[in-house]
Amino acid sequence: MKKNISLILILVASISGLLWSCSKQTTTSFENIATSTKPTGSAFIKIVHFSPAFRLATAKSDSINVFLNDVKLNGSFLTFGSMFPSTTNLYAAVPAGVTSLKLSTNGVLTPDSIAVISMSKILEPGKYYSLIITDSILNASPSKQIFTQDNFVISDTTTFTMRLVHAILNDTAGKTIDVYSTRRASNIFANISPGTVTDFTVQPYNFITDTIIVRRSGGTFELARLTTASVPLARQRAYTLIYKGTPSTTTAPKGRALLTYTNQ
């Protein structure tokens, strides 16, 4: 009997020590995370820069900093094609509530003395958001800026989810695009106009490499393509497929192209 009581006391002490150790773990308010959980009190944000004509549209440098409630979020400048956080850490955890978000370029004395745009957003606890910087960033409409809530969900083990962002705002007037999957031999997105952000939709997953092609709607004229051999897509994940760049050329780094990044 005494032996059993001793074992019980040892077990209780071990569990208490483990709980105490867990309770001591803390995170900063701007910690970068890669998770689909929803901790109380935090919202999650991702910022990507895909504005090829940023200098022309804003008359400012296209190397920018991001400030949230007057606290700088990014490390190095965001330039065309870059994002914060990185592709490893998918979102930054930030305080929820009424939030001031500012894009700025470096001044002589301070890193935020030349504001490009300031905006006020309400970030809900546990929700995920993206600011996709395009040539229409100065537009007052959130849908034009483009500021979105990322409503992805965990998909089945045989699927993943994907949305499309048509980020070429100065594309040929009145022209729309289709996105064609060679694996499925059909369009996965159709008749998408510039500035559109689609919902996340379920896509079937298998191990066959796919080639995804942007075409003019209703035809086979190819504008850009992406092969998943170089950027494999995994099951039960969420992705953004983005058509971006300068429409009149395919020359890197700002020529029209198709790429994908992970949301979950």
Residue range 171-195: mean pLDDT, rounded: 92
pLDDT for 11 equals 36
Q: Of 159, 152, 220, nearest to 185 (Cα)?
A: 220
Spatial contact of 150 and 183, defined as CB atoms under 8 Å apart? no
Higher pLDDT, 2 or 142: 142
Q: Do domains 26-150 and 151-264 have the same CATH topology?
A: yes
pLDDT in tens, 62-92: 899 999 999 999 888 899 999 999 767 899 9
pLDDT one-digit tens code per residue, 211-249: 999 999 999 999 999 999 888 899 999 999 999 999 999
Q: What average pLDDT does the segment 148-152 reach?
A: 95
For residue 4, give the H/E element and its range. helix 2-23
Q: What is the pTM of this model?
A: 0.81
pLDDT given at position 87: 64
User: Which phi and psi (to 5°) does residue 146 adopt?
Assistant: -110, 120
| Number of residues written out for the chain | 264
pLDDT digits (tens, 9 = 90+) for 106-139: 776 776 678 899 999 999 999 999 999 999 999 8
Q: Which helix (H) or strand (E) holds 168?
A: none
Strand pairing category for 114-123 and 71-72: unpaired
Radius of gyration of the chain (CA): 22
Q: Does CATH place domain 26-150 in 2.40.160?
A: no
**Does residue 32 have a pLDDT over 70?**
no
Strand ranges in the chain using DSSP code E only, listed in sequence order: 32-33, 42-49, 65-68, 71-72, 83-84, 91-95, 97-105, 114-123, 128-133, 147-149, 159-166, 177-181, 186-192, 201-204, 211-216, 222-227, 238-244, 257-262
Is the confidence at residue 19, as pLDDT, over 80? no
Alpha-carbon torsion, ordered 206, 86, 55, 194, to 10 deg: 30
- The pLDDT value given to residue 15: 37
Looking at the chain, the whole-number percentage of residues with pLDDT higher than 70 is 83
Candidates 97, 41, 108; CA nearest to 69 is 97
Check pLDDT > 70 for residue 196: yes
Q: Where are the domains of the chain?
A: 26-150, 151-264
Q: Is the pLDDT of residue 40 over 80?
A: no
Whether the per-residue pLDDT at 200 is higher than 50: the answer is yes
Band of pLDDT at residue 197, cut at 50, 70 and 90: very high
What is the sign of the dihedral through the CA atoms of 211, 212, 217 and 218? positive
Instruction: State residue 28's pLDDT score.
Output: 34
Q: Tell me, what's the pLDDT at 20?
A: 35
Pick the CATH number of 151-264 from 2.60.40, 1.10.10, 2.30.230, 1.10.3470: 2.60.40
Q: Please report the pLDDT score of residue 161 as a whole number.
A: 95
Q: Parallel, antiparallel, or unpaired: how do β-strands 201-204 and 65-68 relate?
A: unpaired
